[in-house]
Structure 1
Amino acid sequence: MEMKQLEAFVAVVQHNSFSKAADMIYLSQPTISAHISSLEDELGAQLLIRSTKAVYPTQTGKDLFHRAKNILALRDEAISSVNGVDQELSGEISILASTVPAQFLLPEIITAFQKQYPHIVFHVHQADSLQVVEGLLGYRYDFGIVGTSVNSRRLITVPFYRDTLVMIVPQSMIVNKEEIYRDLPAFLRQQPFVMRGDGSGTRMEMEQLLHKQGISVQNLNIVAYFQDTQSILSAVSQGMGVSFVSKVAATVYEKIGQIKVYDLEQQAFARQLHLVFKKELVLSPVQKLFVTYLENYFTS
């Protein structure tokens, strides 16, 4: 078993494609195929299921994938310990993130990161928080980012950003601030409410935070459910109703005058965003670099 074989195998699984894998590790497609075939012959097991549309690992392939990634990470760590980490460090990082970090935080973070490390390529995918956790336990993604707490013995969570949920209302709505702060439950029961769909970290955190304020979701006048924050912001800006969203997401719409934002008691409506990865994952130098960078990004 050779490193080139493992590199080819990992690349094919990550990209579900022989051709994409060939492009990413700068080998020809026939060479990639030859590496996979020789690896399967050596192990005496089928590692990949080849279809007309994509390539998927068998169960044996999935088991090997995790071990192969760790072997390659240890190799890279050994090389890095000798050569040191510098701006020439290259590699890929795949992230499955929930809506708010995917749309409103990662573009800023990755842009700043790549100014220092321009040869590291990111693959960012979006899903709701529950799907992020499920997807991360599979084989395709290095990291997950979620807006709610994660309870899994198989995952490590790293808090990196303190977010605040704020109430948003249409710009045209005339609101008595004193009324909101004096009796929030009464105010919300009188308004049409735009709700996030099931599975969202924002939805789960919002329900818990509202419950602490004595507000039951069942007593809200919910007029629509949307699966992403951008749609909720648009719906509220059109006058559909009121809602709660991440403060970082509301900022742009507030600046252009499409919504009004009410930052309620920050302690009561605060939450942590978490970077999540599998416990058994041996972090490569590139991955370690990103984790450290993310931990320090909002504190520097």
Structure 2
Amino acid sequence: MEMKQLEAFVAVVQYNSFSKAADMIYLSQPTISAHISSLENEIGAQLLIRSTKAVYPTQTGKELFHRAKSILALRDEAISSVSRIDRELMGEISILASTVPAQFLLPEIITAFQKQYPRIVFHIHQAGSQQVVEGLLGYRYDFGIVGTSVNSRCLLTVPFYHDRLVLIIPKSMPVNKGAMYRDLPAFLRQQPFVMRGDGSGTRVEMEQLLYKQGISVQNLNIVAYFHDTQSILSAVSQGMGISFVSKVAATAYEKTGQIKVYNLEQQAFTRQFHLVFKKEVVLSPVQRVFVTYLENYFANGNIAVYSEQRDCR
């Protein structure tokens, strides 16, 4: 068993394609196929299911995939520990993130990160929080980022950023702040409401916040559903209605005077964004550097703690 065989196998599983794998690791497709065939012959089992649309790992392939990634990570770690030139680290990191971190957190974080590590390239993909966890349990992404708690024995989580949901209101809408704060449920029921679509962490947190105020979604005058935060901000800025969004997402619209933003003070609902990755994976030097950087990026007193649940099957 050779490293090149493992690299080819890992690439095919990650990209579900022989041709894409060949492009990503700069080998010809026949060479990739030859590496996979040799690996299957050596192990004595089929590793991949080849269909007309994609390539998928067999159960044996899934087991080998995790071990292969760990072997390659340990190889990279050994090379890195000898060279000790972190700035020269090069590689790629793939992240599947929910809407708010993908659109409003990661651009800032990655820009700052690449000033120190300019040879590390990121592939950012966006999905709802539920889809992030499901996607991470597959094989294409190194990390996930979500704004809700993760209940999986297969995953580790690193909390790295505290966020808050804020009430956003069209600039043109007159608001009696005193009356609004005295009877927030009545105010929310009276206004047209722009709701986040199903499957997002913000939607889950919003429903919990409304529940604490004694309000169910059915009590609201919902005028539209949108499946991303940017669309909600745009809709509210156009006067469609009110809504709740992440504070970090509302900042730019508030600074340009397109919306009014209200913190709910004692009634505020805070949440934490988490970096998530597979428990059994050994982090490569590139991945480990990113995790450490993310833990220390926000200087607001947050301390990231690994949360591990064992017995993943």
TM-score category of the 2 structures, normalised to the smaller one? over 0.9
Deviation at residue 267 of structure 1 after TM alignment: 6.8
Cα–Cα, structure 1 residues 155 and 267, in superposed 2: closer, same or farther, change >3 Å? farther
1:206 is matched by which residue type in structure 2?
Answer: M
Aligned residue number for residue 111 of structure 1: 111
Q: Deviations over 1:127-170 (max 9, x none)?
A: 11111111111121111100111122221111111111111111
Aligned residue number for residue 169 of structure 1: 169
Q: Aligned-residue CA RMSD in angstroms?
A: 1.7
Aligned residue number for residue 250 of structure 1: 250
Aligned residue number for residue 31 of structure 2: 31
Indicate conservation of the 8 Å contact 1:147/1:273, yes or no: yes
TM-score w.r.t. length of structure 2: 0.90
Moved over 6 A (4+): none
Indicate conservation of the 8 Å contact 1:197/1:227, yes or no: yes
Q: Please give the secondary structure, in 1, of the residue aligned with 2:103.
A: helix
Aligned residue number for residue 140 of structure 1: 140
Structure 2: unaligned runs, 5 residues or longer: 301-313
Q: 1:61-80 counterparts in 2 under 5 A? A: 61-80=61-80
Indicate conservation of the 8 Å contact 1:164/1:266, yes or no: no
Cα–Cα, structure 1 residues 282 and 266, in superposed 2: closer, same or farther, change >3 Å? farther
Aligned residue number for residue 234 of structure 1: 234
Indicate conservation of the 8 Å contact 2:50/2:56, yes or no: yes
Q: Deviations over 1:225-252 (max 9, x none)?
A: 1111111112212222110001111112
Deviation at residue 266 of structure 1 after TM alignment: 6.5
Deviation at residue 96 of structure 1 after TM alignment: 0.8
Q: Which moved more, 1:247-256 or 1:127-136?
A: 247-256
Asked if residue 210 in structure 1 is aligned to residue 213 in structure 2, the reply is no
Q: Please give the secondary structure, in 2, of the residue aligned with 1:87.
A: helix
TM-score w.r.t. length of structure 1: 0.94
Q: 1:17-96 counterparts in 2 under 5 A? A: 17-96=17-96
Aligned partners of 1:52, 1:256: CA distance in 2, in Å? 50
Aligned partners of 2:3, 2:294: CA distance in 1, in Å? 30
Aligned residue number for residue 99 of structure 1: 99
Aligned partners of 1:33, 1:88: CA distance in 2, in Å? 31
Aligned residue number for residue 276 of structure 1: 276
Aligned residue number for residue 185 of structure 1: 185
Aligned partners of 1:202, 1:216: CA distance in 2, in Å? 15
Aligned residue number for residue 294 of structure 1: 294
Indicate conservation of the 8 Å contact 1:97/1:144, yes or no: yes
Aligned partners of 2:135, 2:185: CA distance in 1, in Å? 36
1:158 is matched by which residue type in structure 2?
Answer: V
Indicate conservation of the 8 Å contact 2:160/2:295, yes or no: yes
1:271 is matched by which residue type in structure 2?
Answer: R
Indicate conservation of the 8 Å contact 2:80/2:86, yes or no: no
Cα–Cα, structure 1 residues 267 and 24, in superposed 2: closer, same or farther, change >3 Å? farther
Structure 1: unaligned runs, 5 residues or longer: none
Q: Please give the secondary structure, in 1, of the residue aligned with 2:88.
A: coil
Aligned partners of 2:120, 2:192: CA distance in 1, in Å? 45
Q: Which moved more, 1:282-291 or 1:56-65?
A: 56-65
2:29 is matched by which residue type in structure 1?
Answer: Q
Q: Which moved more, 1:78-87 or 1:193-202?
A: 78-87
Q: Please give the secondary structure, in 1, of the residue aligned with 2:265.
A: coil
Cα–Cα, structure 1 residues 267 and 175, in superposed 2: closer, same or farther, change >3 Å? closer
Indicate conservation of the 8 Å contact 1:66/1:139, yes or no: no
Aligned residue number for residue 9 of structure 1: 9
Q: Deviations over 1:12-56 (max 9, x none)?
A: 221223233223223233222221121122122222233444333
Indicate conservation of the 8 Å contact 2:166/2:268, yes or no: no
1:131 is matched by which residue type in structure 2?
Answer: Q
1:193 is matched by which residue type in structure 2?
Answer: F
Aligned partners of 1:115, 1:45: CA distance in 2, in Å? 45
Could you tell me the percent identity over the aligned residues?
87
